[in-house]
């Protein structure tokens, strides 16, 4: 994540092709690492039998996507958005099985931020001339802030789902900082060890 931040800063300072590749590829590799560690086994393809095999699948896919980005740089935006849609689908599947209001609230925060972020990105990309004509060139910066907020909600959700499947001796619980009553919060996961019955 630190490298993604540094490369994003470098790209936006230079607006160079190399900066763009570093920015997008650092995000792609960060997501690949997160997928490799936290993606629930229950959703693995049938041909994948272990986490180690899933590491290889994630790594191979990421290397191919990286090489494709040098051939066709616009490919990265589509790969990253496909990952976002897949995360939304995973969340929807898990929400159907879960009745915890905190999980649903965190998912709603993630989706709202993501919809606003992708709307800003698409509007900035497709209606650039309009925004320049009215002297409002800020939508790309809104995209960065909103997608960061969306990931702030997404990461604890994915970790929550991961703990449910991979660490059955613990019960995950979502908490909010600074307080439950605030409209915008920073969610985090706590692990409660259930009482063992003799």
Give the annotated binding-site residues for Zn(2+).
12, 140, 144
User: Are the CB atoms for 100 and 112 separated by under 8 Å?
Assistant: no
Please give the helix or strand (H or E) that residue 102 lies within, else none: helix 101-126
Which residues are known binding-site members?
12, 140, 144
Q: Which residues of 100-138 are buried (b: 16+ CB within 10 A; e: fewer)?
A: eebbebbbebbbebbebbbebbebbeeeeeeeeeeeeee
DSSP for 111-167, please give it: HHHHHHHHHHHHHHHHSHHHHHHTT---HHHHHHHHHHHHHHHHHHHHHHHHHHHH-
CA distance 149 to 180: 17
CA distance 65 to 42: 25
Residue with tokens 């990309």: 125
């Amino acid at each position: 994540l630190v490298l993604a931040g540094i490369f994003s800063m470098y790209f936006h300072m230079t607006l160079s092709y190399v900066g763009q590749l570093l920015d997008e590829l650092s995000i792609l590799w960060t997501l690949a690492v997160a997928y490799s560690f936290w993606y629930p086994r229950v959703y693995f393809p049938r041909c994948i039998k272990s986490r180690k095999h899933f590491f290889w699948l994630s790594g191979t896919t990421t290397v191919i996507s990286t090489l494709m980005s040098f051939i066709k740089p616009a490919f990265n935006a589509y790969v990253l958005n496909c990952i976002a849609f897949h995360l939304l689908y995973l969340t929807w599947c898990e929400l159907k099985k879960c009745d915890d209001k905190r999980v649903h609230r965190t998912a709603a925060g993630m989706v709202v931020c993501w919809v606003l972020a992708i709307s800003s990105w698409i509007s900035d990309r497709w209606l650039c001339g309009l925004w320049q004509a009215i002297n409002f060139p800020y939508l790309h910066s809104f995209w960065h802030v909103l997608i960061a907020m969306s990931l702030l909600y997404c990461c604890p959700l994915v970790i929550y789902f991961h703990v449910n499947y991979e660490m059955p001796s613990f019960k995950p619980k979502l908490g909010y900082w600074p307080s439950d009553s605030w409209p915008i919060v920073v969610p985090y996961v706590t692990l409660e060890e259930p009482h063992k019955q003799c």
